[in-house]
Amino acid sequence: MGDVMAIILDTGFFVALRNADDELHDRSKQLMKRVLRAEFGRAFTTDYIIDEAITTALVRTRRHDLALDIGKYIMDSPRIRKLWTEKEVFELAWQKFRLLKGRSLSFTDCTTLAQMERLEIDYLLSFDSGFDGLVRLVR
């Protein structure tokens, strides 16, 4: 990306945005309005985040319809660009996963960090405290 501002939208954001019962639902709606106004630049998410959002919604709520809604919302959105994990990103994520063992970061989180580093993405919209101090967070 370089000099073009951009943001990655993370798992918990999507789950809260599409689940009216989530405690962060209203905050997510406010943030999505800002994302759609391009206040943080281009909006991205990753294949791993899509996977994690669908799975998280299904496990937390036991509602297949909500999990399907989240997947459809992300996949059908022309405003959210999708990043697909390539071998070099996977390998960088694996390095990060090994090095950041003291943090509560999943492998998916490490693929997000790897994508951000590789593409020089400025912001991460995430409610996950494991990212604190590693990237510029939007909450």
44: in domain: yes
Q: What is the CATH classification number for the domain harbouring 42?
A: 3.40.50.1010
Check residue 94 and give its pLDDT. 97
pTM strictly above 0.75: yes
Check residue 101 and give its pLDDT. 85
Distance CA 123, CA 120 (A): 9
27: in domain: yes
Domain count, the chain: 1
20: in domain: yes
Q: Which residues of the chain have pLDDT under 70?
A: 1-3
For the stretch 79-118, pLDDT in tens is: 999 999 999 999 999 999 999 988 889 999 999 999 999 9
CB 133 within 8 A of CB 20: no
Q: Facing residues of 124 across strands?
A: 8, 137
Distance CA 67, CA 71 (A): 6
